[in-house]
């Protein structure tokens, strides 16, 4: 979802001996999937350091001239986890976010021109300074 994911990572305790990246990892080892590293990797995202919300458009939506829109690997972003232990509120959160954001973006143009943010971890990534946005009402 993000240049700076909400959660640090997802973890699992291995239920059997497994090979990860060519290394033998024994059963019972705790494995963490680090969202920050993956979401900022050029292997998965073109220009990962840039804020490009269009990269998250569903693949069935076509925006001509959007070079960032392409199919994203399904395990690159897991803000709600995955599998049996995934977040129960995922669908509700997605519907609520889509509804709220579509209403806001329909009425306002939103700009952020306040410099680079720095983050602290506690246990999620939190900006160290206030977020300031400029909302300009659209003529609808």
Q: Which residues are annotated as a binding site for heme?
A: 87
Q: Is 39 in contact with 45 (CB distance < 8 Å)? A: yes
For the record, the structure tokens of 77 come out as 């972003």
Instruction: List strand residue ranges (DSSP E) for 1-140, in order.
Output: 9-13, 18-20, 23-25, 30-34, 108-111, 119-121, 125-127, 134-137
> Nearest 5°: CA angle at 55, between 20 and 78?
40
Cα Dmax for the chain: 60
Tell the residue number behind the tokens 């060519």, with chain if given: 22
Residues of each annotated binding site: 87
Q: Given phi > 0 = left and psi -120 to 50 = alpha, else beta, which region is 27? A: beta
Residue length of the chain: 140
């Amino acid at each position: 979802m993000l240049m700076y994911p909400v959660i640090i990572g997802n973890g699992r305790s291995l239920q059997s001996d497994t090979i990860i990246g060519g290394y033998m990892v024994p059963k019972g080892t705790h494995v963490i999937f680090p969202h920050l590293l993956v979401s900022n990797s050029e292997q998965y995202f073109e220009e990962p350091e840039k804020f490009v919300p269009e990269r998250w458009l569903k693949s069935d939506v076509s925006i001509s001239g959007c070079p960032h829109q392409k199919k994203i690997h399904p395990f690159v972003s897991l803000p709600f986890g995955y599998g049996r232990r995934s977040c129960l509120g995922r669908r509700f959160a997605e519907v609520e976010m889509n509804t709220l954001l579509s209403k806001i973006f329909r009425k306002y143009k939103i700009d952020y021109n306040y410099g680079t943010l720095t983050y602290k971890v506690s246990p999620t990534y939190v900006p160290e300074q206030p977020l300031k946005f400029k909302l300009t009402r659209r003529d609808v």
